[in-house]
Amino acid sequence: MSSRQQGLSAPLMPMAAPSVPLTLVFVPAVFQNAAETFDETYRFVGPAVRAGEWAPPAAQPVLLVSLGTAFTDRPDVFRACAQAFAATEWHVVMSLGRTDPTLLGGPPPNVEALPSVPQQAVLGHATAFVTHAGMNSIMEALSRAVPLMTLPQMPEQALNARRVRELGLGEVLDSEVRTPELVRETVLRVAGNAGVHDRLARLAEEITAAGGAAAAADAVLGLLG
């Protein structure tokens, strides 16, 4: 009998998650689906956010547009966002990733189109955020109570975007035709929604109370001690 045949005839080993005394979860409990099914070994400490410095060129509403780091080759999306707010009072900051800036056709003066931006610092001034709905980006925005317009690029992000919508924290830009008019209408509607801002404010307070990195460190030290 060959070694391959022997391997195929060997008894199957059961697969089970190891028992661990502590699992740190860097989202607030309210954002976790079925959070009530997790036992006390799971600590929802919220995101570990960092400080940063950035300021818009003038006191004006700021729109941040970022599709993360993996699926960024979307000149159509960036063009629509730039055109949506051309010749308006908004200042638009776009993190292009792999998108060739020459494909944007020359952004208007109130649009910054850069390969990358200090996202957390920009979010500190942002009025709204068009995002791919990656979990890190969502948590960074929620910690600063910034309304979300999500453009998920993969199944995991679609689940995150659905949760944002379920909690009333923003909307999903899920139309196949993302025109400048659609982008502008959605951003203005969400950014001007008092209910969205109230829910974001309450969630930001919950994130602060969860403790973030300091709470995670205390939990680990408590386990070791």
Residues 12-45 have pLDDT tens digits of 666 676 788 999 999 999 999 999 999 999 999 9
Question: Which of these ranges, 62-66, 98-102, 135-139, 194-198, has the smallest mean pLDDT?
Answer: 98-102
Q: Which residue has the higher pLDDT, 134 or 107?
A: 134
Residues 174-215 have pLDDT tens digits of 656 579 999 999 999 999 999 999 999 999 999 999 999 999
pLDDT for res 72: 86
For residue 20, give both structure tokens. 């661990």
pTM (2 decimals)?
A: 0.86
Distance in angstroms (rounded) separating the CA atoms of residues 205 and 202 = 5
pLDDT for res 139: 97
pLDDT for res 59: 78
pLDDT for res 4: 46
**What residue has token string 């060739």?**
100
For residue 50, give both structure tokens. 């960092």
> What is the per-residue burial (b if ≥16 Cβ within 10 Å, else e) of 152-169?
bbeeebeebbbbbeeeeb
| Structural domains of the chain ordered from first start | 23-48+212-224 (no CATH), 62-207 (3.40.50.2000)
Is residue 3's pLDDT more than 50? no
Distance in angstroms (rounded) separating the CA atoms of residues 62 and 64 = 6
pLDDT for res 145: 97
pLDDT for res 142: 97
Give the confidence band of 10 by pLDDT, cuts at 50, 70, 90.
low
Average pLDDT over residues 82-98: 94
Phi then psi for 91, rounded to 5 degrees?
-110, 120
pLDDT for res 9: 56
Q: Which residue has the higher pLDDT, 8 or 32?
A: 32
**What residue has token string 């025109």?**
179
Phi-psi category of 162—alpha, beta or left, where left has phi over 0 and alpha has psi -120 to 50?
alpha
